[in-house]
């Protein structure tokens, strides 16, 4: 049994029906945040419940439901089952309020799918159910379904709270920034690139990665290698291999030069020349370079 105050789900709020009273209580989203656990993340919706009728007062209320989102590449957009962190909820009198948290667990794969299909913010749909005690027995209560919009900027904050991408792409171990100031500066630019990528700013992603490659060798972010410099360095390395063993650090320097050229926007003057696959590839390769830079 579901009660709808309007035709279709209502943005940001749901009404609870108990017995013959349709508007016994109202639920509304106050904020959204994220949390990180061991192998799992949580998406957390903070809900305010308001008692609107005596029928909802002094009763134990249990809520649950399912969560979905639009445009995730599936027909239903189903994400997972919602549960209340602390249950049951009790409203003591008409006009009183109580806050609780609806939580859904997410794994890395689900977040990757969401990020693959997300074009801006996210539009969530809640399908709620509930129970209460009526005359000593558990009885289902009606809860109106509702929707909630999370802007892109707020969603990025949620991802940061979940520590999404705190580990580099391809599960690369985050470099130790305490080893050298150059590495610390490079990692700062890399984090900026990750943030631009989440904001779907492909051109700014590659620009931050170019700055990252420069910072690894202590150069100013806007300093460029000339084509002659790159050719001379490659030639010197080939000559060195004929005399003695060449270590990974020296080889990594050639990779750094190549990646910096790949991310050089001067070679791609038009904004439309930089696409998501370009930014993603550069992000992965520069992340790997950071691991080799020991």
* Residue range 78-126, pLDDT digits in tens: 999 999 988 888 888 999 999 999 999 999 888 888 888 888 889 999 9
Domain that holds residue 189: 169-292
216 and 146 in one domain?
no
Per DSSP, the residues of the chain read ----SSSSPEETEEEEEETTEEEEEEEEEEEEEEEE-SS-EEEEEEEEEEE-SGGGBTEEEEEEEEEEESSSSSSS-EEEEEEESS--EEE-STT-EEEEEEEEEE-HHHHHHHHHH-SSSEEEEEEEEEEEEETTEEEEEEE--EEEEE-HHHHHHHHHHTTTTSSBGGGBPPP-TTS-HHHHHHHHHHHHHHHHHHTT-HHHHHHHHHHHHHHTTT--TT----HHHHHHHHHHHHHHHTTS---HHHHHHHHHHHHHHHT-GGG--SGGG--HHHHHHHHHHHHHHHHH--
Task: For residue 239, name the pLDDT band (cuts at 50, 70, 90).
Answer: low
133 and 23 in one domain?
yes
**3, part of any domain:** no
**285, part of any domain:** yes
179 and 157 in one domain?
no
**5, part of any domain:** no
Report how many domains make up the chain. Answer: 2
198 and 150 in one domain?
no
Model confidence at 139: pLDDT above 70:
yes
Last residue of a domain, one of 161, 187, 222: 161
Task: For residue 228, name the pLDDT band (cuts at 50, 70, 90).
Answer: low
154 and 214 in one domain?
no
87 and 197 in one domain?
no
156 and 14 in one domain?
yes
150 and 204 in one domain?
no
What is the pTM (predicted TM-score) of this model?
0.66
Mean pLDDT of the chain: 80
pLDDT, mean of residues 143-161: 89
Kindly report the CATH number assigned to the domain that includes residue 148. Answer: 2.60.40
Per-residue pLDDT at 270: 67
């Amino acid at each position: 049994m579901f009660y709808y105050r309007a035709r279709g789900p209502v943005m940001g709020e749901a009404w609870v029906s108990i017995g013959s009273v349709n508007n016994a209580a109202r639920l509304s989203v106050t904020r959204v945040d994220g949390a990180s656990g061991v192998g799992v993340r949580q998406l957390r919706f903070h809900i305010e419940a308001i008692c609107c009728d005596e029928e909802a007062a002094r009763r134990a209320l249990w809520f649950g439901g399912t969560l979905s989102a639009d445009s995730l590449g599936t027909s239903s957009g189903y994400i997972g089952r919602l549960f209340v962190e602390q249950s049951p909820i009790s409203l003591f009198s008409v006009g009183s309020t109580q806050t609780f948290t609806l939580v859904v667990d997410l794994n890395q794969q689900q977040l990757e799918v969401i990020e693959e299909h997300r074009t801006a913010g996210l539009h969530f749909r809640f399908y709620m159910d509930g129970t209460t005690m009526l005359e000593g027995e558990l009885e289902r209560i009606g809860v109106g379904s509702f929707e909630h919009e999370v802007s892109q900027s707020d969603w990025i904050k949620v991802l940061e709270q979940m520590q999404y991408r705190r580990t580099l792409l391809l599960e690369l171990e985050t470099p130790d920034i305490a080893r050298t100031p150059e590495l610390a500066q490079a990692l700062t630019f890399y984090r900026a690139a990750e943030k631009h990528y989440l904001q779907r700013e492909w051109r700014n992603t590659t620009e931050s990665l170019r700055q990252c490659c420069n910072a690894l060798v202590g150069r100013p972010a806007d300093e460029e290698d000339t084509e002659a410099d790159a050719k001379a360095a490659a030639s010197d390395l080939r000559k060195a291999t004929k005399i003695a063993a060449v270590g990974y650090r020296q080889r990594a320097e050639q990779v750094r030069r190549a990646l910096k050229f790949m991310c050089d926007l001067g070679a791609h003057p038009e904004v439309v020349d930089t696409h998501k696959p370009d930014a993603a590839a550069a992000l992965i390769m520069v992340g790997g370079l950071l691991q080799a830079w020991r």
